[in-house]
Amino acid sequence: MKLLSLVDILTITACVELATAVKIAASHSQVHTSGCTRDNCLRAMIARKTAATPFCPGFMASTATATTSLGPWATQCKMNHSRISSACKCMFPPTPT
């Protein structure tokens, strides 16, 4: 039975720490929807996150009117501005000031 050298132990420790850091970073890049109702509207946005990323900030910043574009989620969100706003807030929570 071969004993591990100090270099081997340090290499293994570094690999474990790197794997842990990657796992933590991956979990932070996911959509943060805890506490949100995963209705069809939110699920549709999650499925199209690449489209929601540029859409939501503009939608949230504007005053929603009858003519405001509802994006590709209009059907799943039942043409309801407040449901789209809620889904956007779940996907992109406001940063604390």
State the helix-helix crossing angle for 81-91 and 40-47, rounded to 10 degrees: 50
Q: How much is the pTM?
A: 0.57
CA-based nearest residue to 69, from 59, 60, 57, 61: 59
Read off the amino acid at residue 53: T
The residues, any chain, with a CB within 8 Å of residue 72's CB and separated by 6 or more, are 44, 48, 51
| 32 falls within a domain | no
Can you give the residue range of the structural domain that contains 67? 40-91
CA-based nearest residue to 38, from 72, 83, 96: 83
Q: Per the structure, how many domains does the chain have?
A: 1
| 64 falls within a domain | yes
| Tens digit of each residue's pLDDT (9 = 90 or more) over 41-97 | 999 999 999 988 988 888 888 765 555 677 787 788 888 888 888 999 998 887 776
